[in-house]
Copies of this chain bind each other. A is one copy, B any other.
Amino acid sequence: MSAPILAISRRTRRTPYTDRIEALGVKAYTVYNHMLLPTAFISPEEDYWHLRQHVQLWDVACERQVEINGPDAARLVQLMTPRNLSKVVVGQCAYAPLVDEKGGMINDPIILKLAEDRYWLSIADSDVLLWARGLAVGMGLDVAICEPDVSPLAVQGPKADDLMADVFGEDVRDIRFFRFKWLEFRGHPLLIARSGWSKQGGFEIYLDRSDMGEDLWDTIWEAGAQYEIRPGCPNLIERIEGALLSYGNDFTNDHNPLECGLGQYCDLDSEIDYLGKQALLAARDKGITRQFRGVSFEGEHCPSWRQAWPVLKGGQKVGEVMSVCRSPALDRNIAIAMMDKSAWEGGTEIEVETPEGRRRGMVCDLPFKVPPME
């Protein structure tokens, strides 16, 4: 049987760049925030090596923005995350877990502070818009919340700085990591951040005019010819090596941010107030008993992965593989696993229960240590 195609309808929304990536031969999609997200062009392996050496243009319009605007905006945004936002300045991007009143993860957006009373939450795959609006309506807050016409386009890879400087001018090089500036394109200011869902460096352009999408794509594409530009997308291999977590794959509402290794983004000791604070304090006091770790395991290839695989120690289940791939750089199968405390120490010998049988392996710290490109 050939793999099922994706049935596309209005509900699986197209982006300002979809026509371009289809012309360039996108091979696979997923659906993310009710929108098309490409997942493969040549192959995950080919796309991976190219990303580490050159520069790619990614249609990540599905990173939808939840705009929160108004006198109570700062209060609502702080209420939604355990990250202390009091020192975040305008022009800054802040990665932040969102949790519910029980401490369970709702999403893990990047929060962009546009003004003291205006924020974008650049979200992973869940309807944060509804969560934020439910809270605002229920509490009677003075905020306006919407999904604006903003479609991020990412430029990722080691040649991203040179390419972006060619298109937007040398100012782009001065943008610090997780900061943004407004730079002009055809006389229209675009929010450009040094960020992106890879560890190869690069930028995200928050295009706020869909009608300019193809012009923006084409301009970067043409300027990228000399840098061997290709279309790309968040790459499974690269993101597992770099331990970039994926909501819905690695963690869900059943996990709290401490279990996700996001304790550095949880202010448990100051006076700030947010949903789930008591639950997280109680979880810390009780002690965390499971947390993400890396796992590598033997075998010539990685079995196809669609569900969590048990991790075993002495025949007992001590964890679950959440995301897995073959790392061509490490020549091993590698995984992000939620491990019990009894087996989370680096070096612990384990077995992974794959659909093709048990494979011997070992626990390690995240991210994986990948040799640099020569």
Contact = CB atoms under 8 A, between A and B. Distances in A.
A34 interface: yes
A4 interface: yes
Contacts of A373: none
Interface string A1-43: 1011111111110100000001001111111001000111000
A28 B4 CA distance: 5
Interface string A285-328: 00000000000000000000111100000000000001100000
Nearest to A39: B7
B1 A3 contact: no
Nearest to A37: B7
A100 interface: yes
Interface stretch (A128-136, A175-183, A261-269, A356-364): A128-136
Contacts of A39: 7
Contacts of A26: 4
Contact of A10 (B22, B134, B308): B308
A46 interface: no
A99 to B, nearest CB: 11
A130 B136 CA distance: 12
A26 B12 CA distance: 19
A101 interface: yes
A330 to B, nearest CB: 21
